[in-house]
């Protein structure tokens, strides 16, 4: 790795962290506001920032409620249970949030970047190098995603086990079995996509989705694999432990599940990781099924419409459109997940596992077999 690569990587990491943490913070507000609008209410509207020395109060539709919550969590007393396993208890929140952040490392958030073309002053220094907009351009991208989301199970289990609380323990057990079940479903649904595109490299996966299928449809994963898309979304929401799959932290039964005994910012980290994971699920869904960072019929050179007309775009415009498209798609999917969360009631525990093992798993296996059969017949 030379200096140029290092600089580009630093910029990517900064961008990814900024995007993820912003999503985490904004989604707390979006969740409250969208829930309010869905139920004919106004929603968060009181927290304000007063411009110093004036009487001007900025409310901005309640955007500052997230800031107020964060500030409260930072300043709260860090109350710990008396009998707890100190190491595991402290590791819990970190193991919950770090894998979630790491998953984004392999998700491509833009096409190929040519910094020399973008900033002519740096053209000599970069010397025509190009970088795909992805922190870690690894061939095994999809496998990394599953490896890291497997680690986050350990975070939940550790947190529940170490806090010496029966509710936490029950929540941790539920989290463990639920995550393992739905991880399996998720893996099997994604296998269909892997079969269709023949790769687990996420950026090549997205590149292949910029074409056209049947003459007019964008060649997105959701066109090839509509059932897999639905199953992946269900499994993704279950992975994220959100309603209707929020049994590990079911308030009415387990207080707060595996993070009952966490307070202050440790609990805040769990919440933040949940909200970031909404964005991660959205990003994965976009990458696998919705053509990633490209608009329909778009690739790194510009638009190629089905009629054969080509609209070439300059490199700067392509980069901007790709970044914005990716963020917009991810935001729409986050909004959809919030819609699901405020619409459906919670499962019962046995229903949850039955749904995974007797409904989703057979369906995903059928989907895989049919896909393999069709591909074999075509080949």
Partner 1 sequence: MSNRKPYVRKQYWNEPTMGWYERSYLFEVVRGLAITGGVFLRNMGKWMSGRKGALTSYYPEETRADYAPGNRGKHILTMRPDGRPQCVACNMCATVCPAQVIEIDGAFDPDDPSHPKYPSRFEIDYSRCIFCGLCVEACPEDAIRMMKETPDLPGPDRHQMWLGKEELLNWQPRQDVAKPYPAAPGSDAGARRHEP
Write down how long the chain is: 379
Phi and psi at 112, nearest 5°, equal: -90, 130
Angle between helix 264-289 and 86-103 (nearest 10): 30
Q: Given the rule CB under 8 A, which residues bind partner 1?
A: 34, 36-42, 45, 230, 339-340, 342-344, 355
CA distances to 136, 237, 256, 311 from 250, in Å: 36, 15, 6, 51
| Least distance between partner 1 and beta carbon 263 (Å) | 25
- Nearest residue to 189 via CA among 241, 233, 139, 237: 233
For residues 287 and 271, give the distance between their C-alpha atoms in angstroms, rounded to a whole number.
Answer: 24
User: Looking at beta carbons only, is 188 or 206 nearer to partner 1?
Assistant: 188
Q: What angle do CA 107, 108, 114 make, to 5 degrees?
A: 150
User: Looking at beta carbons only, is 41 or 72 nearer to partner 1?
Assistant: 41
| Least distance between partner 1 and beta carbon 355 (Å) | 8
| Least distance between partner 1 and beta carbon 351 (Å) | 9
Phi and psi at 39, nearest 5°, equal: -110, 30
For residues 183 and 198, give the distance between their C-alpha atoms in angstroms, rounded to a whole number.
Answer: 21
User: Looking at beta carbons only, is 289 or 355 nearer to partner 1?
Assistant: 355
User: Looking at beta carbons only, is 314 or 351 nearer to partner 1?
Assistant: 351
User: Which residues are within 8 A (CB) of 150 and not within 5 positions of it... i.e. 6 or more apart?
Assistant: 183
| Least distance between partner 1 and beta carbon 225 (Å) | 17
User: Looking at beta carbons only, is 44 or 284 nearer to partner 1?
Assistant: 44
| Least distance between partner 1 and beta carbon 34 (Å) | 7
| Least distance between partner 1 and beta carbon 40 (Å) | 4
User: Looking at beta carbons only, is 40 or 350 nearer to partner 1?
Assistant: 40
For tokens 């943490």, what's the residue? 21
User: Looking at beta carbons only, is 64 or 258 nearer to partner 1?
Assistant: 64
| Least distance between partner 1 and beta carbon 329 (Å) | 17
User: Which residues are within 8 A (CB) of 103 and not within 5 positions of it... i.e. 6 or more apart?
Assistant: 144, 145, 148, 149, 280, 284
User: Looking at beta carbons only, is 59 or 217 nearer to partner 1?
Assistant: 59
| Least distance between partner 1 and beta carbon 248 (Å) | 21
Give pairs for 137-142: CB < 8 Å, separation 24+.
137/203, 138/106, 138/201, 139/200, 139/201, 140/200, 140/201, 141/106, 141/107, 141/200, 141/201, 141/202, 141/203, 141/205, 142/106, 142/190, 142/194, 142/200, 142/201, 142/202, 142/205
């Amino acid at each position: 790795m030379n200096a140029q690569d290092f600089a580009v990587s630093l910029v990517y990491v900064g961008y990814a962290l900024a995007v993820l943490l912003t999503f985490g913070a904004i989604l707390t507000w979006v969740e409250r506001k969208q829930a309010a609008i869905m139920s004919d209410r106004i929603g968060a509207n009181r927290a304000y920032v007063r411009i110093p020395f004036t009487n001007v109060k900025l409310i901005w539709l309640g955007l500052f409620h997230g800031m107020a919550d964060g500030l409260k969590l930072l300043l709260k007393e860090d109350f710990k249970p008396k009998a707890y396993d100190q190491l595991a208890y402290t590791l819990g929140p970190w193991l919950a949030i770090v894998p979630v952040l790491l998953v984004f490392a392999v998700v491509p958030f833009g096409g190929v970047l040519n910094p020399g073309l973008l900033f002519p002053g740096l053209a000599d220094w970069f010397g025509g190098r190009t970088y795909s907009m992805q922190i870690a351009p690894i061939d095994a991208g999809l496998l990394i995603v599953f490896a890291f989301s497997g680690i986050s199970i350990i975070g939940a289990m550790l947190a529940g086990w170490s806090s010496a609380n029966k509710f936490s323990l029950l929540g941790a057990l539920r989290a463990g079995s639920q995550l393992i079940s739905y991880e399996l479903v998720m893996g099997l649904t994604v296998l269909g996509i892997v079969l269709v595109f023949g790769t687990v490299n996420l950026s090549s996966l997205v590149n292949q989705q910029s074409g056209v299928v049947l003459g007019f449809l964008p060649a997105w994963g959701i066109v090839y694999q509509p059932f897999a898309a639905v199953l992946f979304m269900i499994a993704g929401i279950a992975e994220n432990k959100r309603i209707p799959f929020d049994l590990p932290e079911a308030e009415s039964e387990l207080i707060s599940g595996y993070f009952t005994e966490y307070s202050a910012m440790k609990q805040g980290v769990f919440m933040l990781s949940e909200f970031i994971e909404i964005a991660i699920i959205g990003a994965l869904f976009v990458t696998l099924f919705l053509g990633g960072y490209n608009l329909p019929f778009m690739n790194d050179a510009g638009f190629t419409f089905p009629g054969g007309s080509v609209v070439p775009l300059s490199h700067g415009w392509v980069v901007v459109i790709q970044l914005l498209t990716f963020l917009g798609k991810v935001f729409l999917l986050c909004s959809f997940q919030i819609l699901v969360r405020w619409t459906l009631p919670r499962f019962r525990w046995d229903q949850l596992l039955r749904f995974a093992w007797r409904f989703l798993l057979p369906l995903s296996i059928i989907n895989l077999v049919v896909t393999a059969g069709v591909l074999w017949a075509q080949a």
